[in-house]
């Protein structure tokens, strides 16, 4: 009797091919990373200079312990003893800090810092349309407030005394007016003093508030030039008894100085327009 062979039925499974691994995921992740880097570069190219410097400073110093572009930050533990020997260093620190002020690109040509025998002179020069103060007005503009506030936060951490000056051009006011260039120059200097004391510098830090009208023209050969209208801050050299104080520049961005008392109310800034 013959034995029949067993019947074997083979069923083929349908569906996708075999497993190809996760190599495609790595390639896709690389592609996404490259696209993200491209978008960041495009964003930086279209951003303002302070943002570019801040991002660049992070990649140069992620830990934040070294000097960073666009700031006054110094190495940990360092301090600045502001005297005749290194007033230039304070000038550079202030210039760096002002880079963070809004609209600094259009304002920087109106800010002059000069080391003089008296100290560091900071001149805020007006334009024909008005830059830091509107024409005939003693109250700072928005840009003027930004600059004066930034400077106050810096200078409030120093032991140096400060003098504030107001200057005008030679354009006269209407004949018979009770308000003129003398009042305007003094009121602008006092308005700058008041704002800076509210923003960082101490009440006893201001030694003098001076109004010179048109008696100290920046351009004597052009007495009507707008740059003759200016407010000047003079950071005076330390005397020998004060040179032992060593303010830490790491505090400069903290604005730790606070007014000891509210300053006296300033006279009204309203003034008749010049002719």
Specify whether 174 is located in the same domain as 109: yes
Distance, C-alpha 194 to centroid of its chain = 19
Specify whether 155 is located in the same domain as 236: yes
The pair phi, psi for residue 47, each rounded to 5°, is: -95, 175
**Number of independent structural domains in the chain:** 2
Q: Which residue has the higher pLDDT, 27 or 241?
A: 27
CATH number of the structural domain spanning residue 191? 3.30.1330.60
Strand 206-211 and strand 111-115: pairing? Answer: unpaired
pLDDT averaged over the chain? 78
- The verdict on residue 209 lying in a domain is yes
Specify whether 101 is located in the same domain as 47: no
Specify whether 91 is located in the same domain as 132: yes
- The verdict on residue 234 lying in a domain is yes
pLDDT in tens, 80-131: 556 777 888 888 889 888 988 888 989 999 999 999 999 999 999 999 988 9
Chain position carrying tokens 């502001």: 82
C-alpha torsion angle, residues 95, 98, 103, 107 (rounded to 10): -40
CA angle (146, 150, 253) in 5-degree steps:
145
pLDDT in tens, 215-233: 999 999 999 999 999 999 9
Q: How many angstroms separate the CA atoms of 129 and 50, rounded?
A: 26
Specify whether 106 is located in the same domain as 231: yes
Q: How many angstroms separate the CA atoms of 182 and 185, rounded?
A: 5
Percentage of the chain modeled with pLDDT above 90: 41
- The verdict on residue 177 lying in a domain is yes
Q: Are 122 and 112 in contact (CB under 8 A)?
A: yes
The pLDDT value recorded for residue 147 is: 95
Specify whether 42 is located in the same domain as 175: no
Beta bridge partners of 122: 113, 233
Specify whether 112 is located in the same domain as 248: yes
Q: Which residue has the higher pLDDT, 9 or 147?
A: 147
Specify whether 243 is located in the same domain as 147: yes
Q: Quote the domain boundaries for residue 219.
A: 80-254
Residue 208 has pLDDT above 90, yes or no: yes
The pLDDT value recorded for residue 2 is: 61
- The verdict on residue 275 lying in a domain is no
- The verdict on residue 176 lying in a domain is yes
Q: Are 78 and 60 in contact (CB under 8 A)?
A: no
- The verdict on residue 114 lying in a domain is yes
- The verdict on residue 3 lying in a domain is no
Query: What pTM was computed for the model?
Result: 0.60
The pLDDT value recorded for residue 40 is: 84
Specify whether 30 is located in the same domain as 166: no
Specify whether 45 is located in the same domain as 104: no
Specify whether 168 is located in the same domain as 126: yes
Positive or negative, the Cα torsion across 114, 124, 91, 155?
positive
C-alpha torsion angle, residues 181, 186, 191, 194 (rounded to 10): 180
In the listed set 37, 54, 71, which residue is the last one of a domain according to the structure?
A: 54
Specify whether 35 is located in the same domain as 91: no
Chain position carrying tokens 């039925």: 9
The pair phi, psi for residue 138, each rounded to 5°, is: -95, -10
Residue 74 has pLDDT above 90, yes or no: no
What is the C-alpha R_g of the chain? 31
Q: Are 217 and 223 in contact (CB under 8 A)?
A: yes
Q: Where are the beta strands (DSSP E) in the chain?
A: 111-115, 119-125, 162-167, 206-211, 230-236
- The verdict on residue 69 lying in a domain is no
């Amino acid at each position: 009797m013959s034995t029949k062979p067993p019947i074997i039925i083979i069923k083929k499974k349908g569906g996708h091919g075999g497993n190809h691994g996760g190599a495609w995921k790595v390639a896709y992740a690389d592609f996404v990373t490259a696209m993200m880097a491209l978008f960041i570069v495009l964003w930086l190219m279209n951003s303002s200079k302070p943002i570019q410097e801040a991002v660049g400073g992070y990649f140069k110093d992620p830990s934040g312990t070294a000097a960073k572009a666009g700031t006054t930050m110094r190495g940990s533990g360092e301090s600045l003893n502001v005297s005749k020997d290194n007033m230039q260093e304070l000038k550079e620190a202030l210039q760096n800090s002002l880079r963070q002020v809004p609209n600094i690109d259009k304002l920087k040509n109106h800010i002059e810092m000069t080391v003089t025998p008296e100290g560091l002179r900071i001149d805020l020069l007006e334009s024909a349309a008005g830059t830091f103060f509107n024409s005939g007005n003693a109250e700072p503009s928005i840009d003027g407030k930004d600059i004066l506030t930034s400077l106050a936060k810096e200078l409030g951490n120093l032991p140096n005394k400060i003098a504030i000056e107001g200057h005008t051009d030679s354009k006269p006011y209407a004949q018979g007016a009770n308000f003129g260039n003398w009042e305007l120059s003094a009121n602008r200097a006092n308005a700058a003093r008041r704002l800076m004391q509210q923003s960082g510098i101490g009440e006893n830090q201001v030694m003098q508030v001076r109004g010179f009208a048109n008696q100290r023209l920046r351009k004597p050969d052009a007495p009507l030039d707008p740059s003759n209208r200016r407010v000047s801050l003079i950071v005076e050299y330390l005397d020998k008894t004060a040179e032992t104080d060593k303010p830490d520049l790491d505090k400069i961005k903290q604005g730790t100085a606070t007014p000891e008392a509210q300053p006296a109310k300033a006279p009204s800034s309203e003034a008749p327009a010049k002719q």
